[in-house]
């Protein structure tokens, strides 16, 4: 099942493009990666890159189009990882940027082939939803950075603080209050919406609207 995430960001397209295409900026807001670096490429050729998460490194290739005939911008990529611990063996995806009256509609669609041999498909039943959540959370983190000037580092601290507060409240209720009150408190802590200045995956659309990959994806060779 292909993953799809979409949000609308009230920002200039050029600024959004820079925050997503510059590796130094991209790795700050995207929870899925700890390091992204471009590899040397010939002028006019697709950009090759290396990425890493928790010491598991892979390689990829991407190509971007700043202006397409329908007025949007796109970036297509293919990626692969030979590390035996990687649950992602190879995949492909795209980012699409559609300017509109309410901001830039920013979306991604991607899919991958699981690793881990015969165990891969079963492990992916858990891993794939987590990847979708991490992508959506990261998109909202990016939105807060562009719209409100909240750095990705500050967003992470806010999220950790809120999670700790919810856990502390739940624990205190379980230890100090009658069971019905404790259960009500735990439900409140679980379902209370996060602060408007804290990233939340729930703010992103998960139903595909721009599901057709850009034509440039078909011309990319696997790294």
**Token digits for 19?**
């925050």
For 50, phi then psi, to 5°, come to -125, 140
From residue 63, alpha-carbon distances to 82, 146, 219 in Å are: 22, 23, 10
172 pLDDT exceeds 90?
Answer: no
Instruction: Provide mean pLDDT across the span 125-144.
Output: 97
- CATH architecture, range 3-135+205-219: 2-Layer Sandwich (3.30)
- Is residue 189 over pLDDT 90? no
For the chain, the structural domain boundaries read: 3-135+205-219
Whether the per-residue pLDDT at 43 is higher than 80: the answer is: no
Q: pLDDT: is 66 or 222 the higher one?
A: 66
pLDDT by residue (tens digit) across 3-24? Answer: 999 999 999 999 999 999 999 9
How large is the average pLDDT for residues 124-146? 97
C-alpha distance from residue 152 to each of 12, 43, 88, 108, 126 (Å): 18, 32, 25, 19, 26
> What digits encode the pLDDT tens for the residues 63-113?
988 877 777 899 999 999 999 999 999 999 999 999 999 999 999 999 999
Round to whole Å and give the CA distance between 5 and 107. Answer: 6
Instruction: Determine if residue 140 is left, alpha or beta; phi over 0 gives left, psi from -120 to 50 gives alpha, anything else beta.
Output: alpha
Asked if pLDDT for residue 191 goes beyond 90, the answer is: no
Q: Identify the residue with better confidence: 208 or 75.
A: 75
pLDDT in tens, 24-33: 999 999 999 9
Report whether pLDDT(223) > 80.
no
Q: How many CA atoms lie within 13 A of 136 on its CB side?
A: 18
d(C-alpha 166, C-alpha 52), whole Å:
31
* DSSP at 84: T
Reply yes or no on whether the pLDDT at 138 is more than 90.
yes
C-beta of residue 96 within 8 angstroms of C-beta of residue 205: no
Mean pLDDT of 176-194: 85
Residue 140 pLDDT grade (very low, low, confident, very high; cuts 50, 70, 90): very high
Name the helix (H) or strand (E) containing 148.
helix 120-148
Share of the chain above pLDDT 90, in %: 69
Mean per-residue pLDDT for 39-54?
A: 84
DSSP string, 158-203: HHHHHHHHHHHHHHHHHHHS-HHHHHHHHHHHHHSPPPTTS--GGG
Region 35-49: mean pLDDT is 84
pLDDT-derived band of residue 1, with 50, 70 and 90 as boundaries? low
How far is CA 165 from each of CA 26, 129, 140, 153, 159, rounded to the nearest angstrom? 29, 25, 21, 19, 10
What mean pLDDT is predicted for residues 115-139?
95
């Amino acid at each position: 099942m292909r993953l799809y995430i979409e949000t609308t960001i009230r920002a200039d397209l050029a600024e959004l493009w820079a925050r997503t295409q510059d590796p130094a900026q991209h790795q700050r807001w995207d929870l899925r990666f700890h390091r992204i670096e471009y590899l040397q490429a010939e002028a006019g050729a697709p950009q090759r890159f290396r990425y890493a998460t928790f010491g598991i490194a892979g390689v990829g290739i991407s190509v971007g189009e700043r202006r397409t005939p329908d007025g949007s911008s796109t970036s297509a990529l293919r990626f692969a990882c030979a590390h035996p611990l990687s649950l992602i063996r190879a995949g492909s995806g795209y980012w699409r940027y559609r300017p509109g009256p309410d901001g830039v509609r920013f979306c991604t669609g991607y899919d991958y082939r699981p690793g881990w041999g015969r165990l891969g498909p079963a492990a992916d039943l858990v891993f794939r939803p987590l990847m979708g959540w991490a992508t959506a959370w990261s998109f909202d983190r990016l939105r807060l950075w562009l719209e409100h000037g909240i750095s990705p580092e500050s967003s992470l601290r806010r999220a950790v603080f809120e999670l700790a507060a919810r856990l502390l409240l739940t624990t205190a209720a379980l230890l100090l209050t009658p069971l019905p009150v404790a259960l009500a408190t735990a439900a409140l802590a679980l379902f209370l919406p996060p602060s408007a200045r804290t990233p939340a995956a729930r703010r992103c659309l998960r139903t595909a609207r721009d599901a057709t990959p850009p034509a440039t994806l078909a011309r990319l060779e696997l790294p």
